[in-house]
Amino acid sequence: MSAENLNILLIITDQQRYDSLGCYGAGWVQTPNLDKMSREGVIFDNCYVNNPVCTPSRASMLTGKHLPGHGVYKLHDILPPEEVLITRRLQERGYRTALFGKLHVSGRIYEAEQRHPGDGFDIYEWCLEASISMDSPFNGYTRWLKEKDPKFYKRLEQERRNLLHIPRELHMTHWSAERTIDFIKGSDPARPFFCKMSVFDPHNPYEDYPLEMRKLVDEKRIPDPLISGEELKNRPYGIKQEEEHSYLGVFSKFSSEELRKMRLDYYASIALIDLEVGRVLACLEEKGIADKTMVIFTSDHGDMLGDHSLLVKGAFFYDPCVKVPLIIRWPEGLKGGKRISGLVQLHDLAATILKAAGFQDDELEKIMPDSCNLAPLISGQRETIHPFVICCYRNSGINDQGVAWDPPIHATMIRDERYKLNIYHGDQVRGRKQEGQLFDMENDRDEVSNLWAKPDYNEVRFRMTESLLDWIHSRELALGSRGGTATPDPSQQLVNALK
Give the model confidence (pLDDT) of 400-421 as tens digits: 999 999 999 999 999 999 999 9
Residue 485 lies in a domain: no
On whether the pTM is more than 0.95, the answer is yes
pLDDT tens for 176-205 read 999 999 999 999 999 999 999 999 999 999
Residue 283 lies in a domain: yes
* Cα separation, 322 vs 313, whole angstroms: 8
Q: Which of 335, 352, 386 is the last residue of a domain?
A: 386
Same structural domain for residues 149 and 219? yes
Same structural domain for residues 45 and 76? yes
Query: The domain that contains 203 carries what CATH number?
Result: 3.40.720.10
Same structural domain for residues 332 and 430? no
pLDDT of residue 19: 98
Same structural domain for residues 127 and 78? yes
Residue 176 lies in a domain: yes
Same structural domain for residues 52 and 108? yes
* Cα separation, 308 vs 226, whole angstroms: 6
Same structural domain for residues 365 and 335? yes
pLDDT at 246 over 90: yes
Residue 497 lies in a domain: no
pLDDT of residue 487: 85
Query: The domain that contains 456 carries what CATH number?
Result: 3.30.1120
Same structural domain for residues 316 and 429? no
Residue 496 lies in a domain: no
pLDDT of residue 476: 82
Q: Which of 371, 386, 401 is the last residue of a domain?
A: 386
Same structural domain for residues 137 and 242? yes
pLDDT at 452 over 80: yes
Closest CA to 325 of 305, 315, 340: 340
pLDDT of residue 482: 74
Same structural domain for residues 421 and 333? no
Which domain range does residue 466 map to?
A: 392-479
Q: Specify the number of domains making up the chain.
A: 2
Provide mean pLDDT across the span 19-46.
98
Same structural domain for residues 375 and 444? no
Residue 403 lies in a domain: yes
Residue 73 lies in a domain: yes
Provide mean pLDDT across the span 16-26.
98
Same structural domain for residues 334 and 409? no
Residue 490 lies in a domain: no
Per-residue pLDDT band at 3 (split at 50, 70, 90):
low
Same structural domain for residues 216 and 121? yes
Per-residue pLDDT band at 208 (split at 50, 70, 90):
very high
Q: Which of 386, 405, 439 is the last residue of a domain?
A: 386
Percent of the chain with pLDDT over 70: 99
Provide mean pLDDT across the span 438-461.
97
Provide mean pLDDT across the span 342-351.
98
Count of CB atoms situated within 10 Å of the CB of 449: 15
pLDDT at 313 over 90: yes
